[in-house]
Structure 1
Amino acid sequence: MVPVSCHKHYFLLVGFLGFGFLGFCLNSSVRGQKNNTLIFTKENTIRNCSCSAEIHDCDYSLANLMCSCKTILPYTIHRASYHSDLIVWFTDTSLLGMLLNFTVVHYLKLSLCGTTPLPTEYLAILGLRKLRINSEIKGQFLEQNLTIYNSGDNEMRDKLKMIQKDRQMFLYISVLDTSLFNRYSLLKSYSVENVSSFTDRFPSLPYSDMFSATTNKSYVVTFIY
């Protein structure tokens, strides 16, 4: 017969190990959690938020409640790099131009929070890998996904090696037509590789002179429309 004291020690040990295991799982979950960056405009203010989970599109109240947000001034916006997911809620193209032109963004979601038609403007986004867009067309919300390139793809790795030979630098440029939010059509793209001169190849595009001053020898240009 096992003494009562042994039973007590057994249950204490099991409880301690169980609590420790639970704490380990919680800590591992927190450490593995990857926050998203959410930026939106509301009542002439720009809010920059860090969110642990994706918020329902254009739910400003929930974003202010669930995310860590701060108000930023337009003149403080500068070209940045976003290695985590970037989500932008917008009602016009002015915010998009300030945030995305010549900005490094790998994973981007754009949500149009309004029904006002957008003009045809072109955004030059650097290093874009995956794009999601969400807009309301004729009363229906349409979300679409587009993979520009996958860094783990074998074929793409071979292309990168070819482009980077002789230590020549390259740059991925995605040119996005903002008028695509006005159409109820599938998101499409096409890429032009080994572009040695952005200005000579696409002289009619805005911002083309911005790339003429860089030291890059080769571009991969993807048009999204």
Structure 2
Amino acid sequence: MPGSMIPISCHKHHLLLVGFLGFCINSFARGQKNNTLIFTKENTIRNCSCSADIHDCDYSLANLMCSCKTILPSTIDRASHRDLTIWFTDTSGLGMLLNFTVVHHLKLSLCGTTPLPTEYLAILGLQKLRINSEVKGQFLEQNLTIYNSSDDEMRDKMKVQHKDRQMFLYISVLDTSLFNRHSLLKSYSVENVSSITDHFPSLPYSDVFSTTSNKSYVVTFIY
């Protein structure tokens, strides 16, 4: 009957509205960026996915607000991380979680006051680093940019100059004793390193990296 019919124009508007709402919902879902938080506590390792920043070393809040699961050391995922936060209390736990892991944006929070020994950890592909530690009763957070998108032009020029090398591998070497000091976070980089062993023979893990001629390393020391 005519009274039960929906005008075509209204039907089109209805479809447009449904499509628009669906687009907004999908866009919102894509905008929810989950960060990975890994922490060790009481001989257990917890791997969490968090949609919001959690106050450093607040284990209870992390377990409440994030999606967390206990993992075994043998099952630690060393896949590439865009954003990774690690809460740690000693260098052995930190090394197990971080050494030779690809991380672009990294935050490290020392959840304790015990001085750390001098050890060196190798992080791959690091762009930005944040550290937070307590020294003499005061919390100190610092930020360091290793490289960013504005450096791409310079990297491209290097690739043209050394086009026989097929790739660059960014390696950051972190001195764990920096968490014991109040001094500013510092770094320096050595570019176009063809052999880690030849350039830095005393550097731990130098023999792990390939010495083939088609790679050129950019090595950054953080201290």
TM-score by length of 2: 0.85
Partner of 1:61: 60
Is 1:104 equivalent to 2:121 in the alignment? Answer: no
Q: Distance in 1 between matches of 2:32 and 2:161?
A: 34
CA contact 1:90–1:112 (8 Å) conserved in 2? yes
Partner of 2:130: 132
Please give the secondary structure, in 1, of the residue aligned with 2:123: strand
- Higher mean C-alpha displacement, 150-159 vs 60-69: 150-159
Partner of 2:216: 218
Partner of 2:195: 197
Is 1:37 equivalent to 2:36 in the alignment? Answer: yes
Please give the secondary structure, in 2, of the residue aligned with 1:203: coil
Please give the secondary structure, in 2, of the residue aligned with 1:153: helix
Please give the secondary structure, in 2, of the residue aligned with 1:165: coil
Is 1:208 equivalent to 2:212 in the alignment? Answer: no
Say which of 186, 191, 203 aligns to 1:188. Answer: 186
Q: Distance in 1 between matches of 2:51 and 2:205?
A: 35
Alignment deviations for residues 161-213 of structure 1 (CA, whole Å, 9 cap, x no partner): 33661352221000000000000010000000011110011011110110146
Instruction: Flag structure 2 segments of 5+ consecutive residues without an equivalent.
Output: 1-12
Distance 1:163 1:139, change over 3 A: farther
The amino acid of 1:75's aligned partner reads S
The amino acid of 1:64's aligned partner reads N
Distance 1:23 1:170, change over 3 A: closer
The amino acid of 2:125's aligned partner reads G
Q: Distance in 1 between matches of 2:120 and 2:61?
A: 31
- Higher mean C-alpha displacement, 167-176 vs 196-205: 167-176
Q: Distance in 1 between matches of 2:40 and 2:71?
A: 10
Partner of 2:4: none
Aligned CA RMSD, in angstroms, stands at 2.4
TM-score by length of 1: 0.85
CA contact 1:163–1:194 (8 Å) conserved in 2? no
Is 1:48 equivalent to 2:50 in the alignment? Answer: no
Partner of 1:166: 164
Please give the secondary structure, in 1, of the residue aligned with 2:148: coil
